[in-house]
Amino acid sequence: MARLSSLIVDRPWRVIVLWLALAAVLVPFAPKVQSVTSSNEASFLPTSYESVQAQQLAERAFPRGSGTSAVLVFRRDDGGRLTPANRAAVSRTAQALDAAGIERVQRVATGPDALSPDGTVQLAEVRFDGAAGDEAVLSAVTELRARTEPLVAGTGLGAGLTGDAAVQLDDQNAHHTAEKTVAVTTIGLILLLLLLLFRSPLAALLPLVSIALVFGIASSLVGLAGKTLGFHVSLDLPPLMTVVLFGIGTDYILFLLFRYRERLRAGDEHRDALLVAFRRVGHVISFAGLVVIAAFSALGLSSLESLRTMAPGLVISVGVMLLAGLTLVPAILSLIGPRVFWPSKRWRTHSRSGVYARLGRLIARAPGRTALAAGATLFVLAAGALGYAANYDTLEMLPKGSESRQAFSDLRQAFPAGALAPTEIYVTGSKPIDRSSLDRLAGDLRGTEGVAAVRPAELSANRRTARLDLMLKANPYSSAGLDAVAGPIRKAAHASKAGENVLVGGQTATLADVRTATARDYKLIFPVAALVIALLLAVLLRSLVAPLYLMLAVGASFAATLGGAVLTFQVALGQPGLKSSLPVILYLFVVAVGTDYSMLMMTRLREEMLAGASPRAAAGLAVEHGGPAVGAAGIILAGTFGSLLLTGIGSLMQIGFAVSTGILVASIAMATLLVPAVSALLGRRAWWPGRASRPPIDPTAGEQLPQPGR
């Protein structure tokens, strides 16, 4: 760090030009991350899962019927029963759409059996050539909707398209809108908070300009990697990249700015103050970045491509931001100097009566009571995590005004909810399949728990594969629907003697397999990430004891945050569950980013002890001097994630609330209160076998700052 700090501070223009050149090459010409996103859950599953094998079989045996389906839902504007004239208008609309020659639309059909028992809703089935996430299929959904609107105009009818492809298109559009909302809100919020914090336009703009440059480079690198290596990423990645880069990037810059300001207050000249700040904070930023990278890398162990491909995207983003925090930001600060705090003059003096100074004295005086209060708060919130339930319902997560969500609401009022996405049963054999065996299977399935109806079987051209569609009683995206398919329906289908092999497929089966894969991933990702982070902490802190209670504190923060999300969304708001991937996202962000704050606090505490302070006094001084940086960084990072609450997308809103809450818990309850208090109680034992457990020495003795050009 001494050599790197001298190189950066004395040659700032070279560093800045290198970053600008990199941006000039990548940003205008490389593909962006949005070009490799996908919302197709089936494309993220390994081929070992039954639903994927069923889809592959369908593509071979029913090439014109293996594509995804959708449902046009017609109902009167006044909600009344459909008249003969209304039903005729529905038929004309379906025929016109069927004859329109829309690319990838195989058929649009309706009939008397598509009328609901109460006569208020009529359906038209749409069959596409291709999977729900194919771009051509999504374009076909857009064209279908555009053509339907004028066809029903003046008929007194309303029409809405729903189903897998329509849901994915609405989800994609909502996420694209969310990216813009998150970007604008995040930038505005960071600018406002930094202005309030430093009362300086330069200090507020420094992080934004630096991170905006890094964001363009990182987005291009992720898009280039996806195109080159041939992988897709989840729609959740682009907005997460925005908040991660702006949030974590601001954290790293704040760590440096606060330490630089402290050295200026102590009387150092600009260059010396920046060199000391860089050396003191640079290794913390380095390890903080490595911790986050290690945690995100654990996602690469996932069996789900949606999580696995998040790893390179987030690792690239944090890696580029880490390099910028160690090179670009100090270089810019070297040029600006103390003017970065202009026009404010408050930065010149340090107040011993501030909030963190008082907290530091409280912890030094009563570490036991402080640790007990913080720990009890985390324990109470963590109890809520026992009620956690996963929600795989994409429809439930869409904004309320989405066409597919409204159309499904109309459908389920008059039909079994399973009419939206039928579950597909495929029967194969080496010989032609007997019709009577299919009839018996259909009869068994009709009597199976959770099944509302079974359609007649369809045979392939060679009669060696058959397909039966069944409708669930429950919402096909709900936990009840997943339980029915994964349990009694698959059991009844597999027990059948209708053919040599029976596979259960469809969107509900896909989600059931995603649920199984997610549960498997949690058991692997959580302990691996914790182990790697603990090892990095041991290296940074030169201690075997401190990492143990730090990881326990982080685990308690994670459980408390998950419990708070359960109490908010499931109990207070009455939602059926939380986004299925929320625990792993929350775990990685709270554990990795939350650990950064504890690392900054612990390295400052260790520094004070090496300078001669007692363990309690060192804890108080660490909170007094390190607390403002941790608190400000936590509030800003929480605010960036809080911007997800404005997207209107249920999954992102849950992520935004939970992660922002977790960051506040980690930065205040854990890093500022619990960790320093426990460290004060353990004293020098917390640093065993490191140097801080031995008699104090002067860490600056014999230390000389590098001179310009050396």
| Residues 96-154: tens digit of each pLDDT | 999 999 998 999 999 988 999 899 999 999 988 877 777 888 899 999 999 999 999 98
Q: Which residue among 326, 350, 374 closes a domain?
A: 350
The verdict on residue 568 lying in a domain is yes
Residues 158 and 230 in one domain: no
Residues 154 and 236 in one domain: no
The verdict on residue 562 lying in a domain is yes
Which value, to the nearest 10 degrees, does the dihedral of the CA atoms of residues 680, 686, 689, 693 take?
10
The verdict on residue 369 lying in a domain is yes
Counts of helices then strands in the chain (DSSP H, E): 26, 13
CATH number at residue 462: 3.30.70.100
CATH number at residue 236: 1.20.1640.10
Tally of structural domains, the chain? 4
Which value, to the nearest 10 degrees, does the dihedral of the CA atoms of residues 202, 208, 214, 218 take?
180
In this structure, are residues 508 and 421 in contact, taking their beta carbons and an 8 Å threshold?
yes
Report the 3 state secondary structure along 96-110.
HHHCCCCCCEEEEEC
Q: Residue 83, SS3?
A: coil
According to the model, what pLDDT value does residue 347 have?
62
Residues 265 and 400 in one domain: no
Please list, residue by residue across 114-137, b when 16 or more beta carbons sit within 10 angstroms of its beta carbon and e when fewer do: bbbeeebbbbbbbbbbbbbbbeeb
Going by the DSSP 8-state scheme, the letter that residue 31 receives in this structure is P
According to the model, what pLDDT value does residue 691 have?
64
Residues 340 and 389 in one domain: no
Residues 552 and 662 in one domain: yes
Measuring CA to CA, how many Å separate 270 from each of 11, 333, 626? Answer: 15, 10, 21
Integer Cα distance of 142 and 145 in angstroms: 5
Residues 401 and 538 in one domain: yes
What one-letter code names the amino acid at 388? Y
The verdict on residue 58 lying in a domain is no
Residues 346 and 357 in one domain: no
Residues 494 and 577 in one domain: no
Residues 361 and 218 in one domain: no
The verdict on residue 450 lying in a domain is yes
Cis peptide bond N-terminal to 689, omega within 30: yes
- DSSP H or E stretch at residue 54: helix 50-61
The verdict on residue 584 lying in a domain is yes
Q: Which residue among 453, 480, 505 closes a domain?
A: 505
**How is the beta sheet containing 69-76 ordered, strand by strand?**
105-109, 121-128, 69-76, 157-163
In this structure, are residues 261 and 269 in contact, taking their beta carbons and an 8 Å threshold?
no
The verdict on residue 707 lying in a domain is no
CATH number at residue 124: 3.30.70.1430
According to the model, what pLDDT value does residue 108 have?
93
According to the model, what pLDDT value does residue 705 have?
40
What residue numbers bound the domain in which 429 lies? 422-505
The verdict on residue 185 lying in a domain is no
Report the 3 state secondary structure along 384-418.
HHHHCCEECCHHHHCCCCCHHHHHHHHHHCCCCHH
According to the model, what pLDDT value does residue 701 have?
39
Q: Which residue among 323, 350, 377 closes a domain?
A: 350
Residues 391 and 452 in one domain: no
Residues 6+ apart with CB under 8 A from 535: 547
Q: Residue 47, SS3?
A: coil
Q: Residue 427, SS3?
A: strand
Residues 393 and 272 in one domain: no
Q: Which residue numbers in the chain have pLDDT < 70?
A: 34-44, 64-67, 234-236, 346-353, 691-710
According to the model, what pLDDT value does residue 710 have?
31
Residues 386 and 238 in one domain: no
